[in-house]
Amino acid sequence: MPTISRRNVLAGVGAGFLAGVTRSRAMTPPVQVGAYRAVDGDERAQIDWANQLTITVGQKKGDIVGQDDKAIQAAVDYVARLGSGTVKVGPGVYRLRNSIYLPSRIRLTGHGVESVLTKIASNQVELSADSDWYDQEITLADAADFRVGDGVTLTGNNPHDGGSQVLKRTLVARSGDRFKLNQGLRKNLWISQKTTCASLFPLLTSENCSDVVIENLCLDGNRANNGNLNGNYGGNIFLQDCNRFTIRNVEARNYNGDGISFQICHDVHVENCHVHGNQGNGLHPGSGAQRPIMRGNLLENNNIGLFWCWGVKYGLAEKNRMMGNRSQGMSIGHNDTDNVMRDNDISRSGKVGILFRDDSRGQDFWANRNVIENNRVVDSGDENGIAIDILGNTKDVLLAENTIQETRGPGKRLGIHIAKAVERLKLRDNVIEGFHQPISDDRQV
């Protein structure tokens, strides 16, 4: 008779339990569409209700009447209090002194190019007193142009290591030149480090929120009258640590920074947007963004049309037009892997049509396992321009069925440049025309 150990008994019980769970799941019928009910605490079942609350904002008529961020934010906050709904912004120019903060499960829409959100001209002043990391106030050297309720960006050097510091806050109370902030600093802002306060902020922003739709709006960053705000902190739209945002039919223009930037945000869809005239990037899927879909957008006259930041994975850029961007039409690099770029038109890029950046600071930080297929890359750079430049130790990239053209004469222009350390690059059925050298392969030198 075989020996039965405690371990064998437990293993048998565990296997039986798992088999029972498997059979139970197999016998459970799938839930039919529309069969869910709204149950308290159940966040997984999202019911598509035929009618939800809509609050209108207008300059002359609407549920809320106003011409600035306070009116729009009031409508957003009212809808958010009820859990979900729509805010519809009427025609007119709305001049913001602070960002519109978007909570979860809200739809912000307008009347297309007739609903314009812009911002005041920025002003930058120095701090006139030190603020320590635990403080919740600052003192300005000249507070004349600042008001309670304003959005501001505080910048300066870290007094301990010399690195830069950027903090976004709202001024919530005032006594003379002293302002209370909406939250503490948690950084040392000392006047010895040239710390400044500027009225810079994103037009629309969200942090740690999900399931939001932004559509049918025109966002104008008033670039000519504003200082620069880096795309890691701002833009016409700036999202941080968000999930499942849809941005469609939005015009995002003239920001002294990025048009649309989303950092560590997942499942963001940007569709049929016109992003142009921005000082920074047009679209900036930011660090760690997973599964972004960017489809049918017109990206023109930005610094870079589409900038894949660090660690962007499983994304899709499809049927976009990237025209006349000053540096690259599209740039991909640091650990951006497993993305597909197909059926895009990239023309008149100032330097390079598509750039695979070099990043040798880590063991393998290159843009590996990406697919570039059925794109049209036309007239890239100056006399020494390159249509597609693949740098560093980039690996396992497929370039297939692309049309790569130069119509201005060959000059010293290159169709595809391949750096010496590139590995396992596959070129298949590409048409390369009009270049001094169709393919320049440093691996063969």
Q: Which of 365, 352, 417 is nearest to 393 (CA)?
A: 365
The dihedral through the CA atoms of 345, 350, 356, 359 has a sign that is negative
Q: Which of 286, 424, 291, 430 is nearest to 353 (CA)?
A: 430
d(CA 87, CA 214) in angstroms, rounded, equals 10
pLDDT along the chain (445 residues), means of 10: 44 46 49 71 76 94 97 98 96 98 98 98 97 96 96 93 92 97 96 95 98 98 97 97 98 98 98 98 97 98 98 98 98 97 98 96 92 98 97 98 98 97 98 97 88
The dihedral through the CA atoms of 268, 269, 273, 277 has a sign that is positive
Which pLDDT belongs to residue 425? 98
Judged on CB neighbours under 10 Å (0-12, 13-18, 19+), 102 is buried
Which are the contacts of 161, defined by CB distance < 8 A and separation ≥ 6? Answer: none
Q: Are 226 and 186 in contact (CB under 8 A)?
A: no
d(CA 358, CA 336) in angstroms, rounded, equals 12
d(CA 122, CA 145) in angstroms, rounded, equals 9
d(CA 32, CA 17) in angstroms, rounded, equals 28
pTM given for the model? 0.91
d(CA 166, CA 179) in angstroms, rounded, equals 18
- Token look-up 């011409």 returns 67
> What distance lies between CA 13 and its chain's CA centroid?
50
> What distance lies between CA 372 and its chain's CA centroid?
21
Which are the contacts of 312, defined by CB distance < 8 A and separation ≥ 6? Answer: 285, 286, 287, 288, 289, 290, 292, 332, 336, 339
Q: List the strands of the sheet with 328-332, edge to edge.
A: 100-101, 204-207, 237-240, 260-263, 281-285, 304-307, 328-332, 352-356, 386-390, 414-418, 437-441
d(CA 245, CA 104) in angstroms, rounded, equals 9
Name all domains of the chain by residue range, CATH numbers in brackets: 54-120+200-444 (2.160.20.10), 124-198 (2.40.30)
d(CA 36, CA 189) in angstroms, rounded, equals 52
- The continuous run of DSSP H or E covering 186 comes out as none
Q: Are 374 and 407 in contact (CB under 8 A)?
A: no
Q: List the strands of the sheet with 124-126, edge to edge.
A: 124-126, 196-198, 151-157, 164-175, 178-181, 137-139
Give the number of other CB atoms < 10 A from CB of residue 248: 17
d(CA 395, CA 342) in angstroms, rounded, equals 19
Q: Are 251 and 231 in contact (CB under 8 A)?
A: no
Q: Are 381 and 355 in contact (CB under 8 A)?
A: no
Which pLDDT belongs to residue 317? 98
Classify 118 as helix, strand or coil. strand
